[in-house]
């Protein structure tokens, strides 16, 4: 008899640097619907490796908001407990000649004037010759960057989204460890997705440009590449630069005017999963869920007279 297929594993991975806002809750809802509608396991990974911005209080508040909305998970992991694995990956990359010490300031990088796809400046590769071996890692107090291989990545997104293919030209060599010794999202996300056995990544389109770089790093570390799907974002109504509704309406404020079913119903209609914002729990959306119903374009949202409004 063939061995039973292992269930797929999905994750929702919020950064715990602030309260949950409507965009966080929509991302969680879509991730949950994707996982539960496929019988997959769902891991909640609290991404707290930035010690200046992340706090346990924000992590607890995000968990409380998800539970309130009706979203559950099978395992909860905390990214900062993975330091040994993150260091292990750095050692491996250093031993393979892939790491170098970078002492460039932000102003120096800006002066090179190479636009990056995320709206910032691309690292120009100034320090590439300053390779760091595995035995030099502990004593190095400069920032560490990854020497990305040349060439295109065949990055696929299930939604058909056109992903950046050349991470070097899109963003430049990524920072993997900062001067203060903390590791970056670019490294931690790849290592943790592998430890957590993640086979599907569902996340907002604001992260789509990071995917090719993450796949390049998976290949350098001999880690498997999950399937990716990027979904719509909730955006503020105005402004050339598309800002997320970050913190502008925190869950604490939302729950004063919305019940969980009401807010879930609003999110579902914003995402195109139901016509009207009728109250519904996440579980009520499961049986009819399919990505073909999910709106593909970003939705603009206003906070008007204490209510969320589309448009």
**CA-to-CA dists, residue 211 to 187, 229, 239, 286, angstroms:** 12, 10, 26, 28
CA pair distance 300, 83, nearest whole angstrom: 38
- Spatial separation of the C-alpha atoms in residues 203 and 201, rounded to whole Å: 6
In angstroms, rounded to a whole number, what is the distance separating the alpha carbons of residues 28 and 202?
9
**Among the candidate windows 12-20, 225-233, 256-264, 298-306, which touches ligand GLU by CB under 6 A?**
12-20
CB of 163 to ligand GLU, least distance (A): 14
Question: Is residue 203 at the binding interface for ligand GLU, with CB under 6 A as the rule?
Answer: yes
| Angle, vertex CA 234, rays to CA 230 and CA 235, nearest 5 | 120
Q: Rule CB under 5 A: is residue 126 a binding residue for Zn ion?
A: yes
125 makes contact, choosing from Zn ion, ligand GLU, none, with CB < 5 to 8 Å by partner type, with: none
Residue whose pair of structure tokens reads 């993150």 in the numeric block: 86
Closest separation in Å from C-beta 191 to ligand GLU: 12
Minimum CB–partner distance for residue 303 and Zn ion (Å): 41
Contact 102, 142 (CB under 8 A): yes
Residue 127 binds what, of ligand GLU, Zn ion, none (CB under 5 to 8 Å, by partner type)?
Zn ion
Question: Which of 15, 80 has the CB closer to ligand GLU?
Answer: 15
Which residues face 9 on adjacent strands? 41
For ligand GLU, which residue of 9, 14, 176, 271 counts as binding (CB under 6 A)?
14
Write the CA distances from 256 to 19, 48, 280, 307, integer angstroms.
Answer: 15, 27, 18, 10
Residue 269 binds: one of Zn ion, ligand GLU, none (C-beta under 5 to 8 A by kind): none
> Applying CB under 6 A, does 269 fall inside the site for ligand GLU?
no
Q: Which residues between 154 and 193 bind ligand GLU (CB under 6 A)?
A: 189
Count other C-beta atoms under 10 Å from residue 161's C-beta. 16
Which residues face 234 on adjacent strands? 299
137 binds, among Zn ion, ligand GLU, none (CB under 5 to 8 A by kind): none
For position 207 contacting ligand GLU by CB under 6 A, the verdict is yes
Residue 10 near ligand GLU by CB under 6 A? no
Please state the closest distance from residue 204 (CB atom) to ligand GLU, in A: 7
**Closest distance to Zn ion from the beta carbon of 309 (Å):** 46
* 102 forms part of the interface with Zn ion (CB under 5 A): yes
Task: Quote the strand ranges of the chain, DSSP E.
Answer: 9-12, 41-46, 75-78, 99-102, 143-146, 175-177, 200-204, 227-231, 234-235, 299-304, 307-310
Smaller CB separation from Zn ion, 108 or 236: 108
Query: Does 47 engage in binding with ligand GLU (CB under 6 A)?
Result: yes
* From 13, 187, 194, 301, residue interacting with ligand GLU (rule: CB under 6 A): 13
Q: Is 124 in the site for Zn ion (CB under 5 A)?
A: no
Choose, by CB under 5 A, the member of 46, 127, 194, 233 that binds Zn ion: 127
- Please report how close the Cβ of residue 107 comes to Zn ion at its closest, in angstroms: 12
C-alpha distances in Å from residue 68, one per residue of 29, 44, 106, 276: 12, 15, 41, 21
Question: Up-side HSE of residue 65: CA atoms within 13 Å toward CB?
Answer: 32
Binding residues (CB under 6 A) for ligand GLU: these are 13-15, 47, 189, 203, 207
Binding residues (CB under 5 A) for Zn ion: these are 102, 104, 126-127
């Amino acid at each position: 008899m063939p061995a039973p297929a292992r269930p797929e594993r999905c994750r929702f991975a919020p950064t715990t640097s602030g309260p949950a806002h409507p965009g966080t809750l929509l991302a969680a809802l879509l991730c949950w619907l994707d996982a539960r509608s496929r019988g997959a396991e769902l891991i909640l990974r609290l991404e707290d490796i930035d010690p200046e911005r992340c706090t346990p209080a924000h992590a607890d508040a995000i968990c409380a908001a998800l539970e309130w909305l009706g979203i559950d998970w099978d395992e909860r992991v905390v990214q900062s407990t993975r330091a040994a694995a993150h260091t292990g990956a750095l050692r491996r990359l250093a031993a393979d000649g892939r790491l170098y010490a970078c002492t460039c300031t932000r102003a120096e990088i800006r002066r090179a004037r190479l636009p990056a796809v995320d709206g910032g400046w691309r690292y120009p590769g100034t320090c590439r010759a300053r390779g760091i071996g595995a035995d030099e890692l502990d004593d190095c107090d400069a920032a560490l960057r990854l020497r990305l291989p040349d060439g295109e990545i065949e990055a696929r997104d299930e939604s058909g989204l056109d992903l950046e293919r050349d991470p070097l030209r899109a963003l430049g060599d990524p920072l993997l460890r900062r001067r203060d010794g903390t590791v970056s999202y670019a490294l931690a996300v790849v290592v943790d997705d592998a430890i957590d056995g993640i086979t599907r990544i569902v996340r907002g389109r604001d992260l789509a440009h990071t995917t090719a770089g993450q796949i390049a790093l998976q290949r350098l570390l001999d880690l498997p590449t999950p399937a990716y799907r990027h979904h719509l974002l909730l955006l503020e109504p105005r402004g050339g630069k598309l800002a997320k509704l970050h913190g502008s309406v925190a869950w604490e404020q939302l729950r004063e005017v919305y019940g969980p079913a009401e807010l879930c119903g609003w999110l579902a209609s914003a995402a195109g999963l139901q016509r009207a914002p009728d109250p519904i729990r996440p579980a009520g959306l499961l049986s009819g869920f399919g990505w073909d119903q999910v709106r593909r374009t970003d939705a603009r949202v206003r906070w008007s007279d204490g209510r969320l409004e589309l448009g």
